[in-house]
Structure formats: structure tokens, C-alpha cells
Amino acid sequence: MPRYSINEPRFNQTLEELGHLGESPDGMDRVAYSPADIAGREYTVKLMREAGLETRIDTAGNIIGLRAGSDDSLSAIALGSHTDTVPKGGKYDGALGVMAAIEVVRTLQEQGHRTRHPVEVINFTNEEGTRFHRWLVGSRSMAGQLEQEDLDAVDDDGYGLGPCLADIGGNISRIGEAARNPGELAAYFELHIEQGPNLYQSGTPIGVVTGITGRAVFEVEIEGKANHAGTTPMSTRRDALVSASKLVLAIQKMAAEQEICRVSTVGSIKAIPNAVNVIPGNASIGLEFRDTDMEALAAAEQELRRITGQAAVNDGVDIEVNRHRFTSSVPIKPEMQALVAEAAVNCGLAWEPLPSGAGHDAQAVAAIAPVAMLFVPSVAGISHSPEEYSTPEDCANGAQVLLELLLLADDRL
């Protein structure tokens, strides 16, 4: 039995209310720094204050609510996620973790339970990275992992980050002050929707996250020869788009058949000049590999370089492979996974271990604190879509386990 029960109707109502901010027939639109995002942040602060949290906004724009513990010598245990969304997104991605964290503190407050550790609820800013194409901006600021590119980034209209940060109470010239030292947080726990089909398909209410996936992103440029589509014989063509198409299929097979890595995706393709009567002289594809095992990502890159080398020889084209980004996977410590599993069992809920195929704030925070993540089912595995849905019961289960997890960690850490 869990020690205390969260207030399920109240909790689901907060999710509903937050879900009305930025809602449209096309889905949720609380892109970071937009008026709807700011409304969502104000709603979060209001709820935090009602839950007795002392709130502040750090220079990166993260909202931090603090509840004092009984032992001043202990570091805080933090619970959190994000309330920004992608355009045309859903009501649960990120929102669930923040609303659940607040409900957990509200429950403790009502029960008069003072934890030994201070408790922080954190609403990280700009997790999704939509506007400036730089993601996990709040959590990476806190982890001291911000790069110059993050500060220099401009949006599609050429506007910079500084004024946006000022709008939400941050300060770009002092953003370094948002960084915290290892040890300042005793642990960080994040509840999130799975954003994949595993729990929904197996009917398991709780997922214990084993690690957050690593990701390698590449751009492959193919140079052939543009020529007349009517007069150039088939045998003498150097068609860059044909070579690109063969690569698309080969890259799909790398995960689907060869199982070199967990998933492989070609998500973008360009043909130049992209005219129906011209043999494409140039083509490029954008692709990514994901796996929690970094060796698998290295093997995928090796295979990519092998097949592109071969395609260049076979098709008489020039191919250049550019590695754009390489995000390391973040394993979650076995003892932290065990704590989540124990919390689920205490709540009478079945659980299963699974990796996270998406990125989360927890992966940045892992640089400065032990982290754990738990998932609840996404109906049909859909997310980043207006159809994103998790049942009120599943959401409440997640919040309940988060509360029990906090209490277990407060005893043990």
C-alpha cells in the first residue's frame, strides 16, 4: 500500500486546465516563449504557491518551487519536467511530469508530512527546442552544459534568444548562474508519458526507464550529374536521387533487418534542381540512428560509411557523409531503477523495464545528479500530436508512484 494517496480528480483537473492553455483545434501550441507558454508557466507558479512551494525563476528561465525539509544538511530531491510543447502537440508530454510533481507536494502538505530532504519541483524551460532549434535549454543550463551555439541561436525570423528569456524572467547575460554543482541535488525524478507503444500494448501501467537513448544525426550529400531527362540514355546517367533512394532503403534495413542499432530513420530528402524533366544532379538525405548502446551507434556509422562508399563506386557519384550531432546515451543507475520498481510495487502496480527512445530533461540533469524516470502508457503509442492521450487513471498511477518514489528516496538517500 502507498503511504498516502494523491487526489486523483484534483490532479487530473490540473492537467485539463493546463491543457486549455494554448489549445486549438489543431492541437496544443505552447511553444517555448510564446504567450501560451507564458500562460502555462504562470499557471504552474500559481499551483506551486497553492501547494506551499516557495517559487523562483533562475536566469535560464526555469521555474523552481522549493519545500523545506527537516534536515538542513541534506540536498534537495527534485521532481519535474516541462510545460512547453511542440506545435500541434499534445496535452501530456511534459505537462504530466510537472502537474504530478505539484500534486505530490500538495498531498504531502495536506498530510502534514515533512520530508527530511528539501523537495524541489522544477518546470524546465524550452525542452522541445522548437523556436531556436536548440533543445533541453533549461535543463542543460542547470547542468552547466550550455554551448555558445545555444546562446547565439536565432529563430526563423532572425530574432535571438535574449529578449525571449527576458520575457519569462530569465537573463541571457547571467545564464551561467543557472548552472548547479554536482551534489546540489540528491536526485531528480521525472514522470513522463512513454511516447511509444510498449506499455499500451502490454497493458503494463508503469515503465521503469533503463536509459535514455543516444542519437547520431547525419547529412549525406550526393553529387551526380544533372542532365536532360528526355535525351540522356539510361546507361550513362549519374542520377543522385536514384543513389539517395537506394541509401534510404539500405539505411532502413540497418535497424529493421540487420539490427545494427535499435532504430534508423531517413527523415528528410532533397533533390536538386527538383524539376520533373531534369535528372537530379544533386541530392541529400538527413538521417539519424538511435540506441542506448553507444557501440551500436558507432557500428551504425561504420556501416553507413561502408554503404555510401560502395554506392559511390557502383553509381559513379560522389558522396560525402557529414556527422551533425552525436548525443550520448544516458544509462540510469540500477539502484535508481530498483527504487522506481519498488515504488510501483508498493502502489500495487505492475511495471516493466524499458529504454526511452525520446530525449528528456533527465538526460541533461544526469550530469549533476542521479536521475530516475518512469513512464505511463501513451494510447496507441502516439505523441507530439493532437491525438496524444493517456487515460486519467494511468496519469494518476504515475503521480501516485512518483509520490511513493519520493518517500522511498527520502528514507534511503
Positions that interact with Zn ion (CB under 5 A): 93-94
Closer residue to Zn ion (CB): 37 or 93: 93
- What is the closest distance, in whole angstroms, from the C-beta atom of residue 194 to Zn ion in the complex? 11
Query: CB-based burial of residue 306 (10 Å sphere; 0-12 exposed, 13-18 middle, 19+ buried)?
Result: exposed
Cβ-based nearer residue to Zn ion, 90 or 118: 90
Q: How far is the CB of 75 from Zn ion (least distance, A)?
A: 25
Q: Least distance (Å) from Zn ion to the CB of residue 229? A: 45
Q: Which residue is nearest to Zn ion (CB)?
A: 94
| 103 or 388: CB nearest Zn ion | 388
By beta-carbon proximity to Zn ion, the closer residue of 93 and 291 is: 93
Kind plus residue range of the DSSP H or E element containing 42: helix 35-50
108's CB contacts (< 8 A; 6+ apart) are 4, 67, 114, 115, 119, 403
Rounded Cα–Cα distance for residues 149 and 145 (Å): 11
Closest to Zn ion by CB, 12 vs 356, is: 356
Give the shortest CB-223-to-Zn ion separation in angstroms.
Answer: 38
Q: How big is the CA angle at 49 (ends 166 and 56), to the nearest 5 degrees?
A: 35
* C-beta of 124 vs 218, nearer to Zn ion: 124
Q: How far is the CB of 360 from Zn ion (least distance, A)?
A: 6
How far apart CA 60 and CA 134 sit, in angstroms, is: 14
DSSP annotation of 130: T
Q: What is the dihedral of CA 95, 100, 103, 105, to 10 degrees?
A: -110
Q: How far apart are CA 11 and CA 311, in angstroms?
A: 55
**To 10 degrees, what angle do helices 8-19 and 95-111 make?**
140
Distances (CA, A) of 308 to 53, 200, 202, 261, 315: 55, 38, 38, 17, 10
CB 199, CB 84: distance < 8 Å: no
Nearer to Zn ion, 95 or 165 (CB): 95
Closest separation between CB of residue 16 and Zn ion, Å? 18
Tell me the CB-side half-sphere exposure of residue 366, using CA atoms within 13 A: 20
- Per the CB < 8 A criterion, the answer to whether 224 and 317 are in contact is yes
Q: Which residues 6+ apart lie within 8 Å of 72 measured at CB?
A: none
Residue type, 58: D
Q: Are strands 351-356 and 206-212 parallel, antiparallel or unpaired?
A: parallel
> Considering beta carbons, is residue 308 or 383 the nearer one to Zn ion?
383
* Smallest distance, Zn ion to C-beta of residue 190, A: 9
Closer to Zn ion by Cβ: residue 93 or 301: 93
CB of 93 to Zn ion, least distance (A): 4
Residue 70 C-beta: closest distance to Zn ion, Å: 32
